[in-house]
Structure 1
Amino acid sequence: MALTFNEQFDQHGAWRREFALRLKLLSEWLKDHDLLDSAVEERLRRLESQIRTDKVMVAFVAEFSRGKSELINAIFFAGYKRRIMPASAGRTTMCPTELGYDPEVPPCLRLLPIETRLQTQPLMEWRMVPEKWHRVDLDVNDPDQLSQAIEKVSEIRRVTVDQARALGLWHDDTPEDNPMTGADGLVEIPKWRHALINIAHPLLKQGLVILDTPGLNAIGAEPELTVNLIPQAHAVVFILAADTGVTKSDLQIWREHLISEDNASDSRLVVLNKIDTLWDALSTPAQVQAQIERQRATTAEILGLKQHQVIPVSGQKGLVAKVNDDHELLKASRLPVLEQALAHGVMGQRQKILRASVAANITELRMEGTRHLSIRRRDLAEQMMELKGLRGKNMQVIKHMRARIEQEQGEFDASGARIHAVRSVHLKLLRDVFNLLGTAALKTEMTELTDALRQPGLKLGVRKAYAKTFDRLREGLRKAAKISDEIQTMLTGTFRQLNAEYGFSLQAPREPDLARYERDLDLVERSHNQYLGVSNALRLAQPEFADRLVRALATRLRVIYESALGEVELWNKSAAAQLDAQLRERRRNFGRRLEAIERIQQAASGLDDRIAEIEAQEAGLDQLDAKLAELTQHLGNTPLGARAPVAEPVLKTA
Structure 2
Amino acid sequence: MTAFNQQFDQHHVWRDAMSRRLRTLTEWLGARDLLDDAAVERLQQVQDQLRSEKVTVAFVAEFSRGKSELINAVFFAGYGRRIMPASAGRTTMCPTELGWDASVPPCLRLLPIETRLQPQSLTDWRMAPEKWTRFDLDVNDAEQLASVMEKVSETLHVPVEQARALGFWHDEQPDDNPPTNAQGLVEVPRWRHALINMAHPLLKQGLVVLDTPGLNAIGAEPELTVNLIPQAQAVVFILAADTGVTKSDQTIWREHLSPMTAGASSHFVVLNKIDTLWDALSSPARIEQQITSQCEQTAEILSLDKDQVIALSAQKGLLAKVRGDEQLLQESRLPRFEDLLGRRMLGEREAVLESALRAALGNVEAACHRVLAVRKRELAEQKQELQGLRGKNQTVIRQMRMRVDMDKGEFDRSGANVQAVRAVHMKLLREIIKLLGASSIKRELLELSTSLREPGIKFGLKKAYGKAFDNLRDIVRQVQTMEMEIETMLNATFRQLNAEYGFTLQPPPAPDMSRFIDDLGAVERSHLQYLGMGNIFQLARPEFTEKLVRALASRIRSIFETALGDIELWNKTSSSQVDTQLRERRRAFNRRMEAIIRIEEAAGNLEQRLSEIDEQMALLDETEKGLAAHMHDIRAQSPASVSPRPSAAYQTTVADMLPALS
Q: What is the aligned partner in structure 2 of residue 364 from structure 1?
A: 363
- Report SS of the residue matched to 1:539: coil
Q: What is the aligned partner in structure 1 of residue 482 from structure 2?
A: 483
Q: What is the aligned partner in structure 1 of residue 3 from structure 2?
A: 4
- Map Cα deviations across residues 70-98 of structure 1 (whole Å, 9 max, x no partner): 01101110000000000012450000001
Residue type of the partner of 1:538?
Answer: F
What pairs with 1:90-101 in structure 2 (closer than 5 Å)? 90=89, 92-101=91-100
> Does the 8 Å contact 2:2/2:335 carry over to 1?
no
Question: Against the structure 1 CA distance between its residues 262 and 425, is the aligned structure 2 distance closer, same or farther, given a 3 Å change threshold?
Answer: farther
- Map Cα deviations across residues 104-158 of structure 1 (whole Å, 9 max, x no partner): 2111111111111112222122112211111111111211111000111101111
- Map Cα deviations across residues 516-551 of structure 1 (whole Å, 9 max, x no partner): 111111111111112322211211122221111011
1:264, CA displacement in angstroms? Answer: 3.5
Residue type of the partner of 2:31?
Answer: D
1:642, CA displacement in angstroms? Answer: 5.3
What pairs with 1:389-538 in structure 2 (closer than 5 Å)? 389-538=388-537
What pairs with 1:37-48 in structure 2 (closer than 5 Å)? 37-48=36-47
Q: What is the aligned partner in structure 2 of residue 651 from structure 1?
A: none
Q: What is the aligned partner in structure 2 of residue 381 from structure 1?
A: 380
What pairs with 1:633-652 in structure 2 (closer than 5 Å)? 633-640=632-639, 643=643
1:208, CA displacement in angstroms? Answer: 1.0
Distance 1:457 1:79 in 2: 51
Residue type of the partner of 1:312?
Answer: A
Q: What is the aligned partner in structure 2 of residue 67 from structure 1?
A: 66
Q: What is the aligned partner in structure 1 of residue 540 from structure 2?
A: 541
Q: What is the aligned partner in structure 2 of residue 648 from structure 1?
A: none
Distance 1:644 1:268 in 2: 24
Q: What is the aligned partner in structure 2 of residue 652 from structure 1?
A: none
Distance 1:96 1:384 in 2: 71
Residue type of the partner of 1:430?
Answer: L
Question: Against the structure 1 CA distance between its residues 277 and 521, is the aligned structure 2 distance closer, same or farther, given a 3 Å change threshold?
Answer: same
Distance 2:389 2:121 in 1: 74
- Map Cα deviations across residues 411-459 of structure 1 (whole Å, 9 max, x no partner): 1222222211111110000000111111221122233321122334422
Q: What is the aligned partner in structure 2 of residue 558 from structure 1?
A: 557
> Does the 8 Å contact 2:447/2:464 carry over to 1?
no
> Does the 8 Å contact 1:227/1:531 carry over to 2?
no
What pairs with 1:44-123 in structure 2 (closer than 5 Å)? 44-90=43-89, 92-123=91-122
Q: Does 1:142 align with 2:135?
A: no
Question: Against the structure 1 CA distance between its residues 639 and 482, is the aligned structure 2 distance closer, same or farther, given a 3 Å change threshold?
Answer: closer
Q: What is the aligned partner in structure 1 of residue 659 from structure 2?
A: none
Residue type of the partner of 1:260?
Answer: P
Question: Against the structure 1 CA distance between its residues 190 and 644, is the aligned structure 2 distance closer, same or farther, given a 3 Å change threshold?
Answer: closer
Q: What is the aligned partner in structure 2 of residue 251 from structure 1?
A: 250
Distance 2:348 2:506 in 1: 34
When normalised by structure 1's length, the TM-score is: 0.96
- Report SS of the residue matched to 1:213: strand
1:592, CA displacement in angstroms? Answer: 0.6
Residue type of the partner of 1:383?
Answer: Q
- Map Cα deviations across residues 453-476 of structure 1 (whole Å, 9 max, x no partner): 233442231111111110000000
Q: What is the aligned partner in structure 1 of residue 653 from structure 2?
A: none
Distance 2:623 2:228 in 1: 46
> Does the 8 Å contact 2:455/2:542 carry over to 1?
no
Distance 2:220 2:98 in 1: 21
Residue type of the partner of 2:165?
Answer: A
1:263, CA displacement in angstroms? Answer: 4.5
1:262, CA displacement in angstroms? Answer: 6.0
When normalised by structure 2's length, the TM-score is: 0.95
- Structure 1 portions without partners, runs of 5+: 646-654
> Does the 8 Å contact 2:108/2:135 carry over to 1?
yes
- Report SS of the residue matched to 2:230: helix
Q: Does 1:168 align with 2:167?
A: yes
Distance 2:177 2:369 in 1: 65
Q: What is the aligned partner in structure 2 of residue 625 from structure 1?
A: 624
Distance 2:365 2:497 in 1: 23
Question: Against the structure 1 CA distance between its residues 104 and 169, is the aligned structure 2 distance closer, same or farther, given a 3 Å change threshold?
Answer: same
What pairs with 1:201-350 in structure 2 (closer than 5 Å)? 201-260=200-259, 263-350=262-349
- Report SS of the residue matched to 2:245: coil
Distance 1:48 1:305 in 2: 36
1:487, CA displacement in angstroms? Answer: 0.5
**Equivalent pairs, count:** 644
- Map Cα deviations across residues 272-304 of structure 1 (whole Å, 9 max, x no partner): 111111111221222222221222222121111
> Does the 8 Å contact 1:54/1:207 carry over to 2?
yes
Distance 1:256 1:424 in 2: 50
> Does the 8 Å contact 2:64/2:89 carry over to 1?
no
- Report SS of the residue matched to 1:565: helix
Distance 2:496 2:277 in 1: 77
- Report SS of the residue matched to 2:609: helix
- Map Cα deviations across residues 193-240 of structure 1 (whole Å, 9 max, x no partner): 111111111111111111100001110010011111111111111111
Residue type of the partner of 1:69?
Answer: S
1:502, CA displacement in angstroms? Answer: 1.6
Distance 1:275 1:587 in 2: 74
Q: What is the aligned partner in structure 1 of residue 649 from structure 2?
A: none
Distance 2:289 2:232 in 1: 33
Distance 2:509 2:144 in 1: 54
- Structure 2 portions without partners, runs of 5+: 646-662
- Map Cα deviations across residues 370-420 of structure 1 (whole Å, 9 max, x no partner): 122122112112211211222222211110011111111111222222211
Q: Which moved more, 1:423-432 or 1:256-265?
A: 256-265
State percent identity of aligned pairs: 60
> Does the 8 Å contact 1:300/1:310 carry over to 2?
yes
Q: Which moved more, 1:287-296 or 1:4-13?
A: 287-296
Q: Does 1:609 align with 2:594?
A: no
Q: Which moved more, 1:76-85 or 1:178-187?
A: 178-187
Q: Which moved more, 1:392-401 or 1:531-540?
A: 531-540
